[in-house]
């Protein structure tokens, strides 16, 4: 599983870059993409036939088994505002909760899984 992080100042184009360089190419290739970046559901369904799956970051915060219960193994996942799951300043031992382990375990399910974290 590849993990890519996009970081930068507010308004620097992180969301645009992730949509242009990760989400749309994955959808065009016929891959399922999970993201919490707001996108037009009607347009995405008409263009990509339900390959785009939207979620709210609160769903992951409230259910530490979200990755095992909801996420599609082998899909691409783009998490906007990933710092909400793993805030800065936490020691690695404090971050190593069920959510962190779940994110790493999705790579075990399929080598095709791609994780993209958009920070700040």
Q: How high is the pLDDT of residue 44?
A: 93
DSSP H or E stretch at residue 33: strand 33-35
Distance (Å, whole) CA 104 – CA 106 = 6
**pLDDT, one tens digit for every residue, the chain (120 residues):** 567 788 888 888 888 999 999 999 999 999 999 999 999 989 999 999 999 999 998 998 888 778 878 887 778 889 888 777 776 776 666 665 555 555 655 554 444 555 665 555
The H-assigned helical ranges of 1-120 are 14-18, 24-28, 41-48, 57-62, 66-69, 92-95, 98-109
pTM: predicted TM-score of the whole model, two decimal places: 0.78
Domains and CATH numbers, the chain: 2-118 (3.40.50.300)
Q: Given this model, what pLDDT does residue 101 score?
A: 57
The pLDDT of residue 65 is 79
């Amino acid at each position: 599983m590849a993990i890519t992080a996009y970081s930068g100042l507010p308004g620097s184009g992180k969301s645009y870059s992730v949509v242009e360089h990760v989400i749309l190419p994955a959808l065009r290739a016929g891959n399922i993409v999970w993201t919490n970046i707001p996108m037009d559901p009607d347009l995405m369904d008409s263009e990509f036939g339900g390959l785009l799956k939207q979620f709210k970051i609160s769903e992951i915060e409230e259910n530490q088994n979200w990755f095992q219960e909801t996420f599609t193994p082998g899909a691409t996942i783009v998490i906007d505002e990933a710092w909400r799951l793993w805030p800065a300043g936490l020691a690695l031992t404090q971050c190593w909760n069920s959510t962190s382990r779940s994110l790493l375990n999705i790579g075990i399910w399929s080598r095709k899984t791609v994780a993209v974290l958009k920070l700040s």
